[in-house]
Amino acid sequence: MTIIIGAGPAGLGAALGCKSPALILERNSFAGKKLLLSGSGQCNVTNAATREAFLARMGEFKNFLKPAFYQFSNRDLMRLLEDAGCPLFTREDGKVFPQSLRSADVRDTLLKLVINKGHHVQYHSRIVKVEKADHGFTLYDSNGIEYSTAKLILAAGGAAYPQTGSDGSGYDLAKQLGHSILDPKPALAAVKIRSFGSFRECAGITLPRTSLKLGKQMMQGDLLITHQGFSGPLILDNSYRMQPSARIGVVFDAAGRFVDLVKQHPRKQLSSILQLLDIPHRLSEAILQHCGVSNCPAAELCAKDRNLLAGWLKHAEFEIQSLNGLDLAMSDYGGVDIHEVKASSMESKLIPGLYLAGESLAYSLPSGGFSLQMAMATGYLAGIKSE
């Protein structure tokens, strides 16, 4: 019998892939504790993007995750849930939710499918040690119980939201078997900005299709201003690349229109000029305050301040003070190095019979249903290939 560690999306996906009955060991008293919190309890279960668009959103992890996606795509997951009595709806942005907007409906549907396939879930079973044995693997739980299995699927989650049981302990199990572990750092995390000053008053403002520069990389997406810094998809999706003290550049005026607008509208206040660049009024005032420029008519703007504002709008530099910690981040970037795992099967290249799935693996995906989908998909592929 195959043993699966973890009854989250990756573990349930693995069970759905297994043809023979498997034993799922779950440390909590119920399945999918973290899943129940996803999407603020509404569960953004996947994304309805086309296959090409979905794969493109995987970025640098595309080649590794492609076989799992082909085995169990977003369409497959949507069809599975709806056929099992969990109707879905797709928002204009492509995010897919259960019609009830209750994550428990997704969890319950998946769990029912798993149980109906003959799999067994054993709760309150926290595996603390695993050893390679002649027959496969020997597992030891915190209650002193031993388990033996020829095939082991590690789907114990990552290190974000430790209160759900996703505390990085699964990484330790993989390390016990000889795998290299990338130290986890926050992903899908908001950032705090040092000396945020006047921008605190702009909390709640969203800037759509904003460009951001990090090092030599340029990214684009929706930026949300918070009381302490930045969030929104533009930040969340790229936070795994960020670190404290790094500097990011927000582009407010890529085309350099500000100087021309000043000439075209000499009587307009500078805050009104900035609004012509699609910058909201509150943010316009905060920018002027931050740059130390008075909100005067455009004709009264001296050359020094004009050049200062023009340059800042093309590259508004901010220093990251910190990222939300693993206790608040939606995910983490860390775990088993994917170079030690076969993309075609999710089997370890180091330990035959060991399979890894979901957040046990060191990859990071954007917000919008991509992470949950690929947790299920990598689990499903591992389940199929473990037979």
Task: Show pLDDT as tens, one digit a residue, over the chain (387 residues).
Answer: 899 999 999 999 999 999 999 999 999 999 999 899 888 889 999 999 999 999 999 999 999 999 999 999 999 999 999 999 999 999 999 999 999 999 999 999 999 999 999 999 999 999 999 999 988 999 999 999 999 999 999 999 887 777 777 788 899 999 999 999 999 888 889 999 999 999 999 999 999 999 999 988 999 999 999 999 999 999 999 999 999 999 999 999 999 999 999 999 999 999 999 999 999 999 999 999 999 999 999 999 999 999 999 999 999 999 999 998 888 888 889 999 999 999 999 999 999 999 999 999 999 999 999 999 999 999 999 999 998
pLDDT score of 249: 96
195 shares a domain with 182: no
Main-chain phi, psi angles of 331, to 5 degrees: -155, 180
Q: In this structure, what CATH number is given to the domain that contains residue 122?
A: 3.50.50.60
Provide the pairing of β-strand 229-231 with 247-251.
Answer: unpaired
163 shares a domain with 205: no
304 shares a domain with 375: no
Considering 323, 343, 365, which residue would you say is the last residue of a domain? 323
Q: What sign does the dihedral 167-36-46-79 (CA atoms) show?
A: positive
pLDDT score of 167: 82
223 shares a domain with 195: yes
pLDDT score of 314: 95
294 shares a domain with 259: yes
272 shares a domain with 178: no
- Whole-angstrom distance, CA of residue 121 vs CA of residue 355: 18
153 shares a domain with 18: yes
Find the angle CA(42)-CA(46)-CA(50) to the nearest 5 degrees: 145
343 shares a domain with 309: no
- Are 39 and 186 in contact, with CB atoms under 8 Å apart? no
Task: Please give the tally of structural domains in the chain.
Answer: 2
The DSSP line for 117-172 is TT-EEE-S--EEEEEEETTEEEEEETTS-EEEES-EEE----SSSGGGT-SSHHHH
203 shares a domain with 122: no
Beta-ladder partners of 320: 193
Q: Is the whole-model pTM more than 0.85?
A: yes
143 shares a domain with 125: yes
Considering 278, 300, 323, which residue would you say is the last residue of a domain? 323
pLDDT score of 116: 97
pLDDT score of 325: 86
pLDDT score of 331: 87
Which residues, 6 or more positions from 214, have their beta carbon under 8 angstroms from its beta carbon?
238, 241, 242, 246, 248, 249
Domain that holds residue 309: 191-323
Place of tokens 């076989």: 67
Provide the pairing of β-strand 206-214 with 152-154.
Answer: unpaired
pLDDT score of 164: 75
> Quick check: helix, strand or coil at residue 208?
strand
Considering 271, 301, 323, which residue would you say is the last residue of a domain? 323
The candidate with the shortest Cα–Cα distance to 177, out of 148, 145, 147, 154, is 154
162 shares a domain with 27: yes
User: 36 is written with which tokens?
Assistant: 């129940």
210 shares a domain with 273: yes
pLDDT score of 10: 97
